[in-house]
Structure 1
Amino acid sequence: MTVADAAKEASTTAKAAAGAASHAGVPAHFTMTEDEIIAKFPNRLRSFDLFRKMGSPRHIVAPMVDQSELAWRILSRRYGADLCYTPMFHAKLFSDDNLKYRNEQWQTNDEEKPVIVQFCANDPDILLKAAKLVEGQADAVDLNLGCPQRIASRGHYGSFLMEDWDLISRLIRKLHENLEIPVTAKIRVYEDVEKTVAYAKMVEAAGAQIITVHGRLREQKGHKTGLADWDKIKAVKAAVKVPVFANGNILYYEDIQRCLDATNTDGVMSAESNLYNPALFSGKILPTWQMAEEYLEICKDIPTKFAFIRAHMFKLFRYSLPIHTDLRQQLGTAKSLDEFWSFVRDMKSRLIEDSKKEDAMVFDPENVETDAFGYRKYPHWICQPALRFEHDKVHSQSKRLLNEALVEKTSDKPADESADNAPCEFVSKDVPESDAKRLKITVE
């Protein structure tokens, strides 16, 4: 037999074995057994060993494009964040020989552990190439399976892989069989709870050592955003053997424990609420300028893109900029760290004066007033979740009331936080049409 014939026969045998394995219930792309993987990576942590090594994190900062950069992660850790994810990185751009994208996007240091690096991808080999570049710096690599934005549809990644379970399995398995550090995944739910559970179990079987469940459908974005479904998250947690993080519906510090109690999950992840209140996980009620000053101090030592800084400032001062409109332009045109500092100093001076005015809202952080629907009445200079209400003089409703009407069976849940760092509008389907037309509530 020639060498070529031997190679051909070996290839045929391998394909037949793979086909038999797939037919027996093991996907063909599972080229190694779990015992073989453990032997290959004896020091790689699995499941709850990984969770415990990271300090059993309960408070997790979500991966947010252009927003969960190193400087923001450092700030968040000062105020109770136990674990931070990087922004979602595009695996192909990240692994490109042109280092521009990677150098602009990826920063870390020895003090910020634990950290998980998230990638979006649709090619297992490219994903592995990108993951190898952070292998010695991250605690794990996460696969983004939740992004619902149009760009993800065009690029065929994120939640738009939900119809291709085989590809998702191959992506995760590629890392599980070839990476020195664990692979994790962040998913969305389906309308059907059984399908959601089956999906999560497939992700687990492929090798994901932690699963984050964003309790919204892929379609729940923009004007269709509503509540995250904690019941589906709870069902996933009951069905898998790896740690599960819950994502969605966190407005206030107290919502964290409510979510843990309702879902039995191991930790709670926050996206938008962390951006508007980086002290969320500490339970502290702090002025916006304090957070802005601390962030800019960090940026003195951690070079940060001005676009990132500007976006954070707009969110922190979300309720004050409509009052001090001239400062909005100052922020929008800032082109240096000194100019951002100038903006914050000017805003701080204005806000301190606002707090001293005779008609200023009396604010006692130990006894915060709430409206009839449970929303807290914070003055505009205090960090707070971003809710915007638009209504006429006759009908004054609350998003919490609408949410309770929408999900009567879980009416004890808090109102939602926005998904995937995008403005979202919501109108309850169960409110009479006449009322729904009069009321639009937006969460950003």
Structure 2
Amino acid sequence: MARGKLEGYEFWKWIGAPRYVLAPMVDGSDVSYRMLCRRYGVTLCYTPMIVASSFLWDSAYREEVFGTAEEDKPLFAQICGDDVEAMVKVAKTIEKSCDAVDVNFGCPQKYAKRAHYGAYLQDEWDLIRKIVSTLHSCLEVPVTAKFRKQFSTDRTVGLARLLEESGAQVICMHGRTRKQKGAKTGEADWEEIRIAREAVHVPFIANGSIRSLEDAEECLRITKADAVMSGEGLRRCPALFYSPSSLSDIDSSFSSSSCWSVGKPFSEASNGHTRGIGYALEYLDLCGKYCTPLDVVKEHVHRMLLSDLTTPAATFKSFDTKRGRRHWAKGKEEEKTRSLLETHWDVREKMMDAHSVEEVRDLMGMLKGRVLTDTPPPPRPARHEPQAEEEDGLDGSILFGEEEASCSNEGAEDELFSGDY
């Protein structure tokens, strides 16, 4: 049955009234990871942020940044830029492969400032209006928009209303300003999200400070939003929105995956480290089905093994992957978690040198065996003294060549990381 162009809540209901959303993240919301998160409760996914100018002239970038599958639904494809004509061309190219085209007005990264897009358009309301209204009139699918808390409540509300008036059929708001990133992230302002949400009449997604399912439900309660989005939270734990009581709802078609043990998923083991390995193995199986760049694969595996997933809050407080820095909260016992890749240093080094997804999968199988049998790693050579390890960053991010990453696309990314979690 032909759909036609739906708007507002009619469109929202058509895509299933999603409640839990995976944020757009540069190198973080690839199709394989989207499918993994969908297995564990995510009901709407965004593509990585697509830079319109690069998409038009760089075929390699185009192939890498946008990929999907028939079962990858519902899906919002996010684009960014300041050239309306270029953005329309990109949107027209991808609209038949997604359910909506989203415009990023929230990325706070330096590269967004240099290229003039994302949160660095937030003071140019005429341009924002032109971008959204033009896409709304030209596309066969709805246009949506993602933005950040402004520097005053009046401006936050004003921008939300501007987006709605210009034709945005769904609005997502990140509860931090563009200056709140990296070490200055702070907590998202859910109250400001609530105020903006009450000022508009289209479906609204709340984003920021989502570290657990409990956080998600509390955010929905406070903000009155229709859905809640997480970026870095889901990147660390793809089952962030998953409730064990819903195990029967999981697709039995992947129950034979290498990460499943007798009668239950390896991911459900009580040990947080083994759950992380389980998620990594599931993801690697999906990477065999969907084409995923190897550097993206390694980065996802790295993040899923960052720390003990039995303490979600500690995952974020103990490690900050921005430029390999570690923020360690002295004296707080619950935050003294250790990364598996810190302990099993040899696996980390071999993963750095791996040339295929299969090699990474074999390494995860070896790591799984060690953890389940309490087998320690081999002794570190002299060059792996503790001080040298700290200089590298206990999260291994320098070793993995991580610079400014995900905008989550802001998530949440992605900001490394603006705090889209």
Alignment partner for residue 174 of structure 1, among 125, 134, 143? 134
Who is 2:361 aligned against? 341
Aligned residues of 1:230 and 1:259 also touching (Cα < 8 A): yes
Who is 1:191 aligned against? 151
Alignment pair present for 1:55 and 2:12: no
Alignment pair present for 1:81 and 2:42: yes
User: TM-score under structure 1 normalisation?
Assistant: 0.71
Alignment partner for residue 421 of structure 1, among 372, 390, 414? 414
Which segments of 5 or more consecutive residues in structure 1 lack a partner in the other structure?
A: 1-40, 357-386, 389-416, 427-442
| Max Rg structure | 1
1:315-346 C-alpha deviation (Å, 9 max, x unpaired): 01112111111111111111112211121112
Distance 2:418 2:128 in 1: 30
Q: Secondary structure at the match of 2:72?
A: coil
Shift in Å at residue 424 of structure 1? Answer: 5.4
Who is 1:436 aligned against? none
Aligned residues of 1:120 and 1:145 also touching (Cα < 8 A): yes
Alignment pair present for 1:141 and 2:129: no
Percentage of identical aligned residues? 40
Who is 1:215 aligned against? 175
Which segments of 5 or more consecutive residues in structure 2 lack a partner in the other structure?
A: 245-266, 269-274, 307-338, 377-393, 396-409
Aligned residues of 2:24 and 2:411 also touching (Cα < 8 A): no
Who is 1:323 aligned against? 343
Q: Aligned pair count?
A: 329
Distance 1:425 1:61 in 2: 15
Who is 1:352 aligned against? 372
Shift in Å at residue 177 of structure 1? Answer: 0.9
Distance 2:127 2:181 in 1: 24
Runs of 4+ displaced beyond 6 Å: none
Shift in Å at residue 72 of structure 1? Answer: 0.5
- Amino acid across the alignment from 1:321: L
Distance 2:208 2:354 in 1: 33
Alignment partner for residue 234 of structure 1, among 179, 188, 194? 194
Alignment partner for residue 51 of structure 2, among 79, 90, 94? 90
Structural mapping, 1:41-52, within 5 Å: 43-52=4-13
User: TM-score under structure 2 normalisation?
Assistant: 0.75
Shift in Å at residue 100 of structure 1? Answer: 2.1
- Amino acid across the alignment from 1:70: V
Shift in Å at residue 198 of structure 1? Answer: 0.6
Who is 1:297 aligned against? 285
Q: Which has the higher contact order (CA 8 A, sep 6+)?
A: 2
Shift in Å at residue 139 of structure 1? Answer: 0.4
Who is 2:333 aligned against? none
Aligned-residue CA RMSD (Å)? 2.3
1:154-181 C-alpha deviation (Å, 9 max, x unpaired): 0000000011111111111110111111
Are the structure 2 counterparts of residues 425 and 81 from structure 1 closer, same or farther at C-alpha, using a change threshold of 3 Å?
closer
Distance 2:150 2:176 in 1: 8
Q: Which moved more, 1:114-123 or 1:322-331?
A: 322-331
1:263-313 C-alpha deviation (Å, 9 max, x unpaired): 000000000010010011113473111111111111111111001100001
1:210-264 C-alpha deviation (Å, 9 max, x unpaired): 0000000000001211010001100011000101000011111111111110000
Alignment partner for residue 28 of structure 2, among 59, 64, 67? 67
Shift in Å at residue 354 of structure 1? Answer: 3.4
Alignment pair present for 1:306 and 2:267: no
Q: Secondary structure at the match of 1:80?
A: coil
Q: Secondary structure at the match of 1:87?
A: coil
Aligned residues of 1:248 and 1:270 also touching (Cα < 8 A): yes
Q: Secondary structure at the match of 1:246?
A: strand
Distance 2:125 2:80 in 1: 15
Distance 2:375 2:88 in 1: 53
Distance 1:208 1:274 in 2: 26
Distance 2:223 2:5 in 1: 28
Distance 1:419 1:76 in 2: 14
Structural mapping, 1:277-288, within 5 Å: 277-284=237-244, 286=268, 287-288=275-276
Aligned residues of 2:150 and 2:177 also touching (Cα < 8 A): yes
Shift in Å at residue 418 of structure 1? Answer: 8.7
